[in-house]
Structure 1
């Protein structure tokens, strides 16, 4: 690589690191946010999903706008939006404000990421593109890895809001580096438009699905509103291809979607994210709720996942051409399968040492799967479509990841409620449905659960406390059975990829 390429890669790696911290760092803060606002996980998951939804739905628009008007310009714009939204998270007076601020953060990130990927992919020669994209993905993965430690440390010395203060400061630093080190582009696409209608159609479909899963877990799956939301999701998902066939410049070009190999690489950008997000969301909670660890010690515990995934993400780019994406992605999904099996066999008595193999296997699996899938998607189109390909690949990464987390959380919460009901029934105890939901979603440290325990007699309080402890383990098993099914599906799709049809010198289709 020449000096200019190294300068660009250095500049884009800093905002990539910041983007990487935002999602996984917020995962570690779920428990303290639940406590401060007195809400359960079906509400706090929207702090994650609001970000993931707006990020994934606006990614393609961000990529297209970057292709049209300049990637550097839209990175700077996105960093401005991201910084303002991060400040809103710091000042959030309630959980609703926080969720809306997180949604705005997602929009800012959607402007940033595809343009960063396009800058990295086009600042080098074609034979160096795998290494360049690997460096960028390594920066994101490093952010993913360090975010729990950063969030845990800041929460320990202050409170959870300090993490979003960190986002605000580093957004400003990133903007200064981009402005100083990256030159303004002089050539842009001029004949394309942003597909607002397609973006809205897909966003409504995904929102209806995720909100329906949320309500179904809380209030039952046969309620009128829940069924209406699922019906709305089906309608809008069915409308999406029709809308895309009618607009001039569709969000997801149909000729690209007809390329089965390209579609498979896109799905393989998303399926591994489900298992990785399951671990990043629930393993810190496992440490806090089962081991009784603080947020800070939980963040240190997550380094067993963060460090190896950073190393693998950086290293795997060097093997893209020699080994091939098909083998790398298949081996990655095999490791994810092992991770889920280990989690299903996990016993509380194994302690933290039992979690280390889980975290190492998901780190290796995620590292082997993500990089090759992202590079394959970008290589399937020409440089002028690099922003679009980057947007689509990360749209699938976060979109499928968010949908997967919503499905897993719904399964987890339903299993936890059944476990609470079973434990209480065995002791002939009866509680209201609202109290049972609190027991299924909380910890023994939650004020609401302490209140329930305070109203019970000594023996009954012991039964209720045991129901709380068992509910999390039962729900976790349900979530990782779902993760195992997803990992197996990813392995099957990986093995079906035909590398000879993934071309880097022509546009898909």
Structure 2
């Protein structure tokens, strides 16, 4: 690899690392954001989901725009959007403004990621391309691992906004290096078009589904708004493949949708992400809200999960051909199931050591699935569709992860609400619906919960305190029952993969 190629790879590795940090790092900021804006998890989940939704839905469009008008140009445009959005996160006066800013960050990342992949691929010789792709995938995965520690440290010793200052500074550095070391491209593929209709319909369907889950948790599943959102989501999901068949350059080519092995591998890129994201979101909250740990120490507490995932990602590639993706992914999902079972038995009275084997199991499972699933997706379509397959794999990884978080959070809140309502009814304690909502969505560490308990007499205070403690534990159990089902589905899908068809290159039409 010559010096020019090394400089280009170094320049594009910085935004790759930045994209890797931005989703998992924000998970550690949920509690301080809740405290500052006086909101609960049903609202703060959108700080995560807004980024995941716009990033995952915009990846294919970002790649197409780069092909048409220049990858360097759209990396710089995407980084500029990301930089502006990071500043908006820092200055956000309320949680709504923060959610909008996070959505803008996702749009910027969606323009950057596919274009830096293309720049890396075209900067090296063909026999060095796998090495270049490995470096970029390693940096984005490398960003996932330290992100909670970066966010936790900045929030603990400064403010949660410090994480977005980190985003802003590194985006600026990346813009300077890319403008300095990467030349403007002279040729573009102007024959392609962006499937705006398909992208809008798919994004609209996912948004209505996520918003419906959020509204359903508050208003109930039979509420007309909830049912309307679900109906619109279903209609848009049905409409999407019809649009893809009609447009010239579809977001997902029809040949890929008909490739059953490829569809299975896309699912296998998303299913383990749901379980991993549940752990990344809820385990730090358990440490902060139940064990009473600070943000920094809860970030340190996630170290076993981070180390095991990173180690497995590095090691598992050596066994893809000898063991086979089918066995690796099946075993990985079995480990994820075991981790979820461990969470089902977790009690709030237990200490941190009870979480360690759970994190190790989930780390082993995720590490065994993520790499092989991505490689299998590329192999399912062959070399000609490798770039698009990689983008779609990442889209499903984030998209299904976001949907999983939304669904689990809704189930968790409904389960917690039921526990609180039953305890209040048994003790004939009358509280308003807003107070019940606050008790179900919070923990004993939350000031709003403490304020409600302080207004009660001593006997009722004991009852409500126990109900809040039990509701959080029951909510966690419900969320990981969902995770267990997801992991079990992953085992079934993994076993259905035909490895022989992954080694052939189907014709692209």
What residue is the counterpart of 1:59 in the other structure?
59
What residue is the counterpart of 1:14 in the other structure?
14
What residue is the counterpart of 2:111 in the other structure?
111
Q: Show structure 2 runs of 5+ residues with no match.
A: none
- Answering whether residue 189 of structure 2 is matched by residue 189 of structure 1, we say yes
Cα distance in 1, alignment partners of residues 244 and 250 from structure 2? 5
Cα distance in 1, alignment partners of residues 501 and 70 from structure 2? 30
Contact 1:86–1:167, Cα closer than 8 Å, also in 2: yes
Write the deviation string for residues 306-344 of structure 1: whole angstroms up to 9, x where unpaired.
122122223333433443332322222122111111111
Contact 2:276–2:366, Cα closer than 8 Å, also in 1: yes
Cα distance in 2, alignment partners of residues 125 and 101 from structure 1? 39
Cα distance in 2, alignment partners of residues 426 and 220 from structure 1? 22
Contact 1:134–1:315, Cα closer than 8 Å, also in 2: no
- Partner of 1:348, secondary structure, is coil
More displaced 10-residue stretch of structure 1: 105-114 or 84-93: 105-114
Cα distance in 1, alignment partners of residues 120 and 325 from structure 2? 19
Contact 2:348–2:469, Cα closer than 8 Å, also in 1: no
Cα distance in 2, alignment partners of residues 379 and 277 from structure 1? 26
Compared with structure 1, are the counterparts of its residues 347 and 103 closer, same or farther at alpha carbon in structure 2 (3 Å cutoff)? same
CA drift at 1:226:
0.7
What residue is the counterpart of 2:45 in the other structure?
45
Cα distance in 1, alignment partners of residues 467 and 48 from structure 2? 27
Contact 2:216–2:410, Cα closer than 8 Å, also in 1: yes
CA drift at 1:140:
1.9
What residue is the counterpart of 2:73 in the other structure?
73
Cα distance in 1, alignment partners of residues 322 and 124 from structure 2? 19
What residue is the counterpart of 2:96 in the other structure?
96
- Answering whether residue 200 of structure 2 is matched by residue 200 of structure 1, we say yes
CA drift at 1:123:
5.4
Contact 2:347–2:473, Cα closer than 8 Å, also in 1: no
What residue is the counterpart of 1:430 in the other structure?
430
Cα RMSD of the aligned pairs, angstroms, is 2.2
Contact 2:145–2:310, Cα closer than 8 Å, also in 1: yes
Cα distance in 1, alignment partners of residues 190 and 382 from structure 2? 16
Cα distance in 2, alignment partners of residues 443 and 355 from structure 1? 19
More displaced 10-residue stretch of structure 1: 164-173 or 381-390: 381-390
Cα distance in 1, alignment partners of residues 198 and 171 from structure 2? 29
Cα distance in 2, alignment partners of residues 126 and 398 from structure 1? 29
Contact 2:75–2:111, Cα closer than 8 Å, also in 1: yes
- Partner of 1:331, secondary structure, is helix
- The equivalences for 1:412-427 within 5 A come to 412-427=412-427
More displaced 10-residue stretch of structure 1: 115-124 or 66-75: 115-124
What residue is the counterpart of 1:443 in the other structure?
443
CA drift at 1:377:
2.4
What residue is the counterpart of 1:330 in the other structure?
330
- Partner of 1:497, secondary structure, is coil
Q: Which has the higher contact order (CA 8 A, sep 6+)?
A: 1
- Partner of 2:206, secondary structure, is helix
- Answering whether residue 153 of structure 2 is matched by residue 153 of structure 1, we say yes
Cα distance in 1, alignment partners of residues 478 and 118 from structure 2? 39
Compared with structure 1, are the counterparts of its residues 52 and 115 closer, same or farther at alpha carbon in structure 2 (3 Å cutoff)? same
CA drift at 1:349:
4.0
- Partner of 2:444, secondary structure, is coil
More displaced 10-residue stretch of structure 1: 304-313 or 117-126: 117-126
What residue is the counterpart of 1:139 in the other structure?
139
What residue is the counterpart of 1:475 in the other structure?
475
More displaced 10-residue stretch of structure 1: 481-490 or 452-461: 452-461
Cα distance in 1, alignment partners of residues 128 and 492 from structure 2? 29
Compared with structure 1, are the counterparts of its residues 265 and 350 closer, same or farther at alpha carbon in structure 2 (3 Å cutoff)? same
Contact 1:305–1:360, Cα closer than 8 Å, also in 2: yes
Contact 1:244–1:252, Cα closer than 8 Å, also in 2: yes
Cα distance in 1, alignment partners of residues 2 and 383 from structure 2? 19
CA drift at 1:375:
2.5
Cα distance in 1, alignment partners of residues 288 and 241 from structure 2? 44
Contact 1:67–1:387, Cα closer than 8 Å, also in 2: no
CA drift at 1:394:
1.2
More displaced 10-residue stretch of structure 1: 176-185 or 451-460: 176-185
- Answering whether residue 305 of structure 2 is matched by residue 305 of structure 1, we say yes
Compared with structure 1, are the counterparts of its residues 61 and 308 closer, same or farther at alpha carbon in structure 2 (3 Å cutoff)? same
Write the deviation string for residues 399-424 of structure 1: whole angstroms up to 9, x where unpaired.
11111111111111110101111222
Write the deviation string for residues 440-472 of structure 1: whole angstroms up to 9, x where unpaired.
111223232222112111121122122211111
Contact 1:130–1:320, Cα closer than 8 Å, also in 2: no
CA drift at 1:503:
4.8
Contact 1:265–1:376, Cα closer than 8 Å, also in 2: yes
Contact 2:383–2:505, Cα closer than 8 Å, also in 1: no
Contact 1:118–1:390, Cα closer than 8 Å, also in 2: no
The TM-score, its normalising length taken from structure 1, stands at: 0.94
Cα distance in 1, alignment partners of residues 184 and 330 from structure 2? 39
What residue is the counterpart of 2:263 in the other structure?
263
CA drift at 1:20:
1.2
Contact 1:135–1:314, Cα closer than 8 Å, also in 2: no
Cα distance in 1, alignment partners of residues 2 and 261 from structure 2? 32
Compared with structure 1, are the counterparts of its residues 219 and 145 closer, same or farther at alpha carbon in structure 2 (3 Å cutoff)? same
How many positions carry a matched residue from both structures?
509
